[in-house]
Amino acid sequence: MKKRKMGKWPKVLLSIFGGLIALLVVGLIVINVYIGKSKPVIEGEVTVNFLDEDVEIVRDTDGVPHITAKSEADLYRAQGYTQAQDRLFQMDLARRQASGRLAEVVGAAAVDTDKTFRTFSLRNAAEASYDGYGEDAKKVLDWFAEGVNAFIDQANEDGKLPYEFKILGYEPEQWTPIDSLTIGKYMAYDLGGNWDSLAVRHWALNNFPEEQARELFVSYPDNAPSIIAANLKTPVEVAGRFNADLVPHEFNGSNNWVVSGEKTASGKPLLADDPHLGLNTPSIWYQMHLQSPEQNVGGVIFAGVPGIILGHNENIAWGVTNVGPDVQDLYIEIPNPENPTQFRYDGKWEQAEVRDETIKVKGEEDVPFEVVVTRHGPIMSEILYKSEDPGALFSMQWTALEPTKELEAIMRMNKATDWETFESALEDFHAPAQNFVFASNDGTIAYKANGRIPIRKQGDAQLPVPGDSSEYGWEGYVPYDELPTVINPAEGFIATANNEVVDDSYPYHLTKFWSQPYRYMRIAEVLREGDKFTAQDMMDLQMDQANLYAREFLQDLIGSVKAVDKEGNYAMAVRILEEWDQVDSADASAPLIFHKLMKQLPKTMFSNDMPEDVYNLMPGKGQIIDQMMRDAYSGNPGVWVTQYGGVDKWIYDSFETSIAEIEEQFGNDAEKWKWGEYHQLAFPHSLAAASPIFAYFLNPEKQEIGGSNVTVQAAAFKEDGTVNHGASWRFVADLSDLSTAHHIVGPGQSGHMKSEWFHDQSEDWANGIYHETVLNGKVEKGYILKLKAK
């Protein structure tokens, strides 16, 4: 039999295909070489012109830089240089986002984001804060900027700028002190917000009968009828006015605790902290060790900011959680029909400040935009578009828009030696308000809810207040010495988890909007019952997956399902819940059923009665439905539950929807369902959403994990199950030996994809594997870079 000859076209196609493969291979090699070229130099000697004397930077085996300098000036210069080596692109994006300048480099898709941040006026607040700093702090900011700019100049000269700049087609501008302060203001934005809850409550009052709207409040302001009347008399547009995607994550919070030496194996205190923020590549935190003749401190800082904000020195350790106080108020402003930049105040029209905030857009024409600022703060209602003839608009007053001096607090905290010097330093830490826990090697443990917390003339920040009257507004702040404080309690420990930290006897209003209590309850349960604790015990507690939310509601939920499911259609799923140990284990099926149900409950109850954007804007859905269930199961169902048809119907309908969604994704055999198949850890890179190719190279592989948004091992998740929020840093310090401490910075220290520290802590984060970082003693073998002063 003759062999069939290959036709002409297949040969041509093969030739073309082979050529494309060759080009692809060559292209990948070129790209790989280019990306590798931008890796920073982290060992050997480099002669620089920004130092007075030589500085040594030792990166340990986990990529943590240990900087040793002979002066404060060189220490902060080297800190800026080192941060830029590992995180320059992240730093540049952070200052651009907070300043409202992303569209300049990414195009029209970022215009609404830029409008939002220009309205929030973070950079303006940073500029005002800079003017209030003392000369020492300004020097630190200048030194840090000198180091960042030295790296930018060096990378430009050598053609070694981080590859992301090449992808987006721009070069970073010189770093300034205002850039560092603006990033600090962004963290106040991320951790200090409650304006969205005021807007949603205002909408609810104007769209539901008062009794029905009342149930959407955590605590209804019965004592302020004039404020309720004002909200009904002058409605402000809410639906369609705000982008809920730009509101800070609802679960921004943290766990922290400190244990007295009376309850530890060493006889000295133990301290643990794990701030809960977005999980991204690279991490929001950058771990460092800074040493000079004046200080020796280690811990984490936001990339782009000098100093160490959380960590320890040779004598003390400290950590934070978010207090979450009401520090943002909305005012109902009445504009002048003849001049929309004037607003009524005490019977007169008052001219507002109008800032030209024209937005430059890459590849397109500039977008005109103005920010209007009343006596209370910026007008919030006009972010997306202007109203034709608004009868009323919202403005916002916020503590972080005032001049604040957090950097001065950080500088003093880093050098504090005991509770007295540390508490004195905290007096300058105004925004965001944080629960600080503290321990020192003299045995002291302490706590302070710190920050500027407004005292209001009227109301308790549950609703917007009239902006046209001097009868409303702020009249100072809670005195520093009267902020909640605890020192060496008899119970032997102090813990916070964004839970309520004061009772009704406290004379000032902090907030009514505390987080669900389950993380705190579990931490307190373990610390109260245990003894002879070690650092390992603290690490184990940070990874604890016990679900106390289920402990409170599970049996009632099962009862509701059984009450309606007479034919036993969901008997297997119910049995799985009945046999569950109430631990959110990755390999268990019950957590999947439980959490899908709890996520579905507010959708079933509210989504048909609210515009989608209002529903998405509404925070605290968990607390609201919790109270609805508590009331209903105690025999006092509210308006929403009654109108729906009763608690059993509400629970059953939500359960039915949840099971249908699970079956569609994982099949009909409930015994084979696994929480971890749905609940998967991700550390997405900022560029990953632009292309699946970028996502493949820049994101770590997803991992099945346990925990949830209500467990001590915080792992909040999106609708698709992706875990994108949790312990952005884990830290444990044993005060019997502060020469080392235990850390996890997921997914790793470096922002460069070719670095060995890009994603090396991703699995450590999932599995609770900590690394030790030394403060005194020899750094475990890593890379040594000597910066030689010219």
Using DSSP's 3-state secondary structure scheme, residue 297 falls into strand
Helix (H) or strand (E) segment spanning residue 684: none
Sequential DSSP letters for 467-501:
SS-TTSSEEEE--GGGS-EEES-TTSEEEESS---
* Tokens linked to 7: 């036709």
Contacts of 627 (CB under 8 A, 6+ apart): 215, 218
Which DSSP category does 2 fall into?
P
Q: Rounded CA gap, 53 and 789, in Å?
A: 5
Residue 112's φ and ψ, nearest 5 degrees, are: -65, -35
Using DSSP's 3-state secondary structure scheme, residue 359 falls into strand
Is 730:714 a contact under the CB 8 Å cutoff?
no
Check if 121 is active-site: no
Identify which of 148, 334, 151 has the alpha carbon closest to the alpha carbon of residue 235. Answer: 334
SS3 annotation, 378-397: EECCCCCCCCCCCCCEEEEE
Q: Rounded CA gap, 78 and 475, in Å?
A: 43
Identify which of 414, 400, 448 has the alpha carbon closest to the alpha carbon of residue 305. Answer: 414
Q: Rounded CA gap, 75 and 209, in Å?
A: 61
> DSSP strand E in 479-595: where?
485-487, 493-496
Measured at the alpha carbon of residue 120, what is the angle toward residues 118 and 124, in degrees to the nearest 5?
A: 70
Q: Rounded CA gap, 527 and 495, in Å?
A: 9
The gap from C-alpha 10 to its chain's centroid, in whole angstroms, comes to 56
Helix (H) or strand (E) segment spanning residue 155: helix 135-158
H-type alpha helices, 607-678? 612-617, 621-633, 639-644, 647-666, 675-678
Sequential DSSP letters for 724-789:
EEEES-EEEEETT-TTEEEEE-SS-S---TTSTTSSTTHHHHHHT--EEEESSSPPPS-EEEEEEE
Residue 286's φ and ψ, nearest 5 degrees, are: -130, 120
Rg (CA), the chain: 28
Residue 723's φ and ψ, nearest 5 degrees, are: -85, 110
Q: β-strand 445-450 against 485-487: which pairing, if any?
A: antiparallel
Q: Rounded CA gap, 220 and 702, in Å?
A: 42
Q: Rounded CA gap, 617 and 648, in Å?
A: 27
Using DSSP's 3-state secondary structure scheme, residue 72 falls into helix
Is 66:289 a contact under the CB 8 Å cutoff?
yes
- Residue 670's alpha-carbon distances to 570, 591, 594, 655, 717, in angstroms, are 10, 12, 13, 14, 21
Consult the annotation and say whether 329 binds a ligand: yes
Percent helix, strand, coil in the chain (nearest 5)? 40, 20, 40
Q: Rounded CA gap, 671 and 663, in Å?
A: 11
Identify which of 118, 194, 117 has the alpha carbon closest to the alpha carbon of residue 464. Answer: 194
Contacts of 767 (CB under 8 A, 6+ apart): none
Around 677, how many Cα atoms within 13 Å sit in the side-chain half-sphere?
A: 15
Given 99, 129, 197, 254, the catalytic residue:
254
Annotated binding site: 326, 329
Which residues are the active-site residues? 254
